[in-house]
Amino acid sequence: MPDPDFSGSLDSTERVEEGRVLEPKFGADGLITCVATDASTGDLLMVAHMNAEALRRTIVTGDAWYYSRSRKSLWRKGESSGNGQRVVEMRIDCDQDAVWIKVEQAGAGACHTGRRSCFYRKVEGEGGKIGLAFVDADKQFDPTNVYRK
Amino acid sequence: MPDPDFSGSLDSTERVEEGRVLEPKFGADGLITCVATDASTGDLLMVAHMNAEALRRTIVTGDAWYYSRSRKSLWRKGESSGNGQRVVEMRIDCDQDAVWIKVEQAGAGACHTGRRSCFYRKVEGEGGKIGLAFVDADKQFDPTNVYRK
C-alpha cells in the first residue's frame, strides 16, 4: 500500500459522502472511531480509536494499529498479547468519521479480558432492574499470563 | 424495561469488566459510541453516539435514540426519514465505553445518503494512490425526498 495523505480539505459534503478520496475526519482529540469485525464470522470484536498515524500504519502495513486513550500511545494490536489483527478490508462511513476493518484475528481473542469479543455481556431488564448478562463468559486465554504488569 | 440508573461509581476495573451492573462510561463530551448492526444479516449499519438520555430512552423504549453532535440534539432514528431501528439486543463492551445494538432496520436503509449501510466505500490502494471504491453505490431511497431541509 502506498503512503496515504490525509490532508483533504473536507470542504464539501458531496465530496466527503460521494467522493473517492479518503479524507478521514478526526475528532478534536485527533482520533477516529474504528470498529473491528471478524472477517470470517462477521462478529463484532471490538471498538477502538485510531489517530492519523495509527490509521496510516494500518493502511500501509495491513496490521491493525490503534491509539490507546488510557495509555496515550500508539499501539499495534497484539504487540503484547500476540493476538494481532490482519486487515482483510477497510471501509469508511458516509461522513468519514468512522472506520470499519474486517480482520483475521490471531490467537484466542480480541479482548484483553481473554474473550474472543469485547462485547460479552448484554443489557437486560429483569425483575424491574437493568443489569448485564454474560453471553460469553468463557475466557479463551488467561490475561494474567499474556499481559505483563 | 425499567428506568435505568447510570450513577455507577466505576471505581473498580474488575467490577466494570466482570460485573453485572451497567455503568456506561461516557466521554468528556458526555457521549458513548454506539455501533448498530442488522439483527438478521449481521451487517454493520452505522456508528453513532448516545448521551445518557439517548441511552436511557433506547433501553426503555426499544427504539434507537442517538445524540447528533452536528445538530447538538437528541434524535430518534427514523423520526425524519421513517427508517427507524427496533433494538433486538443491546450489548456493552469490556470497559463499558461502547454499546452495540442489533436492530431491525425499518425502511430502505440506515444511511442518510440513501444506502442500507453507512459503510458503502472501501479503502483501496490502486496505482500507487489510496482511494475509495464504492462497494454499494445503490441508493435505496432518494434522500432529497425523505429529509426536508
HEC string of chain A equals CCCCCCCCCCCCHHHHHHCCCCCCCCCCCCCEEEEEEECCCCCEEEEEEECHHHHHHHHHHCECEEEECCCCEEEECCCCCCCCEEEEEEEECCCCCEEEEEEEECCCCCCCCCCCCCCCEEEEEECCEEEEEECCCCCCCCHHHHCCC
The range of the structural domain enclosing residue A60 comes to 13-108
Contacts of A43 in chain B (CB under 8 A): 42
Contacts of B122 in chain A (CB under 8 A): 89-92
Are B21 and A132 an interchain contact pair (Cβ–Cβ within 8 Å)? yes
* pTM score: 0.90
pLDDT recorded at residue B149: 43
Is position A130 within any domain? Answer: no
pLDDT tens figures, A6-60: 766 556 888 899 999 999 999 999 999 999 999 999 999 999 999 999 999 999 9
Are A123 and B17 an interchain contact pair (Cβ–Cβ within 8 Å)? no
Is position B97 within any domain? Answer: yes
Q: What's the pLDDT band for B11 if we cut at 50, 70, 90?
A: low
Q: Which CA distances in Å does B48 have to A62, B15, B74, B129?
A: 26, 26, 12, 29
- Cβ-Cβ pairs closer than 8 A, A with B, add up to 126
Could you give the number of structural domains in chain A?
Answer: 1
Contacts of A35 in chain B (CB under 8 A): 35, 44, 47
Is position B148 within any domain? Answer: no
Is position B147 within any domain? Answer: no
Is position A120 within any domain? Answer: no
Domain CATH for A76: 3.10.20.810
Is position A128 within any domain? Answer: no
